[in-house]
Amino acid sequence: MKVIYIVLGSISLCLGVMGIFLPLLPTTPFLLLSSILWFRGSPRLYKWLLNHKRLGPYIRNFMENKAIPLRVKVISVSLVWLTLLYCSFFMTGNIWLATLFIVLAIGITWHILSYKTLSK
């Protein structure tokens, strides 16, 4: 079972890192899932993730404060809107699909903004 946790945690970490660069792929849930899976599967990998130079503070801040830094909120919401507006206007000729993209952008924005803003 530990091997399954480690493999799933590794896949989740890859998806989380990809989510940093791809606006529609969520970063935080995948990183949190990786930490949970590695906590159960490999204490060494769990400690590595929490002590990672870039990802560790991000995970610890979210786990401890349930908050997102303002800079991350601004970048996330901006990228979501840029991507989904582009898809709505230039990638689809279907009004229903374009509307779905806009509704999706509103939902993602609401979700991101529903978290407290982390003050340093």
Name the band, by pLDDT with cuts 50, 70 and 90, for residue 120.
Answer: low
Q: Give pLDDT tens digits for 39-66.
A: 999 999 999 999 999 898 878 888 888 8
> Structure pTM?
0.68
The predicted pLDDT at position 72 comes to 81
Measured between alpha carbons, how far is 45 from 13 in angstroms, rounded to an integer?
A: 11
Quote the CA–CA distance of 52 and 80 in Å, as a whole number: 26
Question: What b/e readout covers 38-61, taking b as 16+ CB neighbours within 10 angstroms?
Answer: bbebbeebbeebbeeeebbebbeb
The pLDDT of residue 21 is: 86
Q: Which residue has the higher pLDDT, 112 or 22?
A: 112
Residue 119 has pLDDT above 70, yes or no: yes
Query: Is the CB of residue 68 less than 8 Å from the CB of residue 115?
Result: yes
